[in-house]
């Protein structure tokens, strides 16, 4: 049994667990939990698999195919970005995530006819963040850029 599967790295009192984006991420992850696995789990425990410390990353091979759980986490992340963007702009955002069985693909978030987030995905079997703080910072950057595009091209977003 590997150590990272046993030891939780996300602290229960992590201040970033209170961020709006993290709440949206948790909603997306819980929506995928059709068997009730997360029932009774803390928010920190649910997010924990997304946090890849250096030790955890070493345990994942450099080359590999993503499993269904990892693919679901990637989709949940981009859906949480879209939900956060909707909350902040009152415009409907839609995600499109296309990933091959080898872990390569693309994630798009669209508002109207405007693509506001466009990320090329590589090595999705190693998808994760160094901390909850890093996940929040990355999401804030992507949402800020998306909002800039919405301000620059409002007509494309509302058509």
pTM of the entire predicted model: 0.91
Q: Measure Cα distances from 29 to 37, 58, 114, 128 in Å.
A: 11, 25, 26, 14
pLDDT of residue 159: 66
Q: Residue 6: pLDDT band by 50, 70, 90 thresholds?
A: low
For residue range 64-99, list pLDDT tens digits in order.
888 899 999 999 999 999 999 999 999 999 999 999
| Least confident range of 4-8, 39-43, 136-140 | 4-8
Domain 15-158 coded CATH 1.10.1470.10: no
Q: Residue 117: pLDDT band by 50, 70, 90 thresholds?
A: very high
pLDDT of residue 7: 85
Structural tokens at position 74: 């990637």
User: Rounded mean pLDDT of the chain?
Assistant: 92
Residue 150: CB atoms within 10 A of its CB come to 21
Domain boundaries, the chain: 15-158
């Amino acid at each position: 049994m590997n150590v990272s599967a046993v030891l939780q790295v996300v602290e229960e009192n992590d201040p970033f667990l209170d961020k709006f984006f993290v709440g949206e991420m948790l909603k997306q992850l819980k929506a995928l939990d059709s068997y009730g696995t997360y029932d009774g789990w803390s928010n920190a425990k649910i997010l924990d698999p997304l946090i890849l410390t250096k030790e955890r990353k070493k345990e994942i091979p450099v080359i590999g195919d993503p499993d269904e759980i990892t693919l679901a986490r990637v989709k949940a992340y981009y859906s949480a970005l879209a939900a956060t963007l909707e909350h902040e702009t009152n415009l409907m955002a839609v995600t499109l995530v296309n990933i091959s069985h080898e872990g390569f693909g693309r994630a798009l978030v669209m508002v109207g006819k405007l693509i506001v987030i466009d990320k090329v995905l590589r090595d999705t079997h190693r998808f994760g963040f160094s901390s909850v703080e890093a996940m929040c910072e990355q999401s804030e950057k992507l949402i800020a850029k998306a909002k800039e595009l919405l301000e620059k091209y409002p007509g494309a977003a509302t058509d």
